[in-house]
Amino acid sequence: AAKDSGRNGCALYTDELEGKATENLWLQNELRHAIERNQLSLVFQPIYNQAGELVCCEALCRWYHPERGPISPARFIPAAEDCGLVVSIGHWVLLEVCRTIKSMAARGTPMPAVAVNISARHFNQSDFVERLIALLKAHDVSPSQIELELTEYALLSNLSVISERMQRLRALGFSIAIDDFGTGYSSLSYLQSLPLSRLKLDAAFVAKIGTEAGDAIVRAIVEMAHSLTLQVVAEGVESRSQHQHLQWLGCEFYQGYLLGKPMSATLLVSPDTDNPVDMPA
């Protein structure tokens, strides 16, 4: 393997690239059957407001392969994006989210709002809005229960088409968040021209809280978001000091292992997970 190719940095690099390409092909072939073979599932990570109330959750896809075991979405989503399978996966995720919202409501334990990751390729399908509305109608789910998370990559194509699609979605009652904010390549000017609800501050920035540069960047992003009347969701909150710092900056929502890991819908709405941390005054 790559490690055996010795001091030749070039060979090492090539081996790694080849390994990655082979791995992607394998993932793509296996993913083709993952849905029909019931290998995909969803977990939900809680998102809390400043008062410590569970106000939202993020649906996160899980893939359990019978031979390989769990495979991270950080690996298989990019592979699925490359070959277009991400659109079928996205349809399945939305269907499963609607089924879950409907069944939890029927049990008398309604879900909070659910944030769903939508890949650029899926969002750019011309029938995206129509299919989404039909799906929600079929499950008695209101658009106000759904937040669409898009990354900056979704905004790289025709901005006027995207803007028009977002206006329609907002008018229907959906909220829209930009995920992993600060990690993409797009120009900041889209922030004032698109009808966004909130920004999700990427975990990489939260991790740097406590350093001078990290604090400065996080403060600048929160202030910029607020001046554009966008709310901020902090991702990857792992420590009390990060949580306190973000509260002090006026960040509205918090998500991270400190507050709750991704879990089943049933666990999410069970009373004992309602307020996992005593919030600082």
How far is 209 from 219, CA to CA, in rounded Å? Answer: 10
Contact by Cβ (8 Å): 39, 65: yes
- Amino acid letter for position 150: L
CB-neighbour burial class of residue 226 (10 A; exposed 0-12, middle 13-18, buried 19+): middle
- Segment contacting ligand C2E by CB under 6 A, of 28-36, 153-161, 164-172, 253-261: 253-261
Chain-centre distance for alpha carbon 246 = 20
Binding mask 81-110 for ligand C2E (x = CB under 6 A): ---------x--x-----------------
| Interacting partner of 60 out of Mg ion, ligand C2E, none (Cβ under 5 to 8 A depending on kind) | ligand C2E
| Footprint of Mg ion on 141-200 (CB under 5 A) | 149, 179-180, 200
How far is 193 from 215, CA to CA, in rounded Å? Answer: 27
Which SS3 state, helix, strand or coil, does residue 178 take? strand
Work out the angle between the directed axes of helices 73-83 and 9-34 (0-180°, nearest 10). Answer: 80
CB nearer to ligand C2E: give 101 or 237.
237
Report the residue from 1, 10, 74, 281 that binds ligand C2E according to the rule CB under 6 A: 74
How far is 192 from 188, CA to CA, in rounded Å? Answer: 8
- Segment contacting ligand C2E by CB under 6 A, of 2-10, 66-74, 211-219, 272-280: 66-74
Work out the angle between the directed axes of helices 85-106 and 128-138 (0-180°, nearest 10). Answer: 30
| Interacting partner of 233 out of ligand C2E, Mg ion, none (Cβ under 5 to 8 A depending on kind) | none
Which SS3 state, helix, strand or coil, does residue 281 take? coil
Report the residue from 31, 111, 148, 203 that binds ligand C2E according to the rule CB under 6 A: 203
| Interacting partner of 46 out of Mg ion, ligand C2E, none (Cβ under 5 to 8 A depending on kind) | none
- Segment contacting ligand C2E by CB under 6 A, of 71-79, 124-132, 216-224, 244-252: 71-79
The verdict on 236 binding ligand C2E (CB under 6 A) reads yes
What length is written for the chain? Answer: 281
Summarize as ranges the residues that interact with Mg ion (CB under 5 A): 117, 149, 179-180, 200, 235
Summarize as ranges the residues that interact with ligand C2E (CB under 6 A): 45, 60-61, 72-74, 77, 90, 93, 117, 119, 179-180, 203, 235-238, 255-257, 262
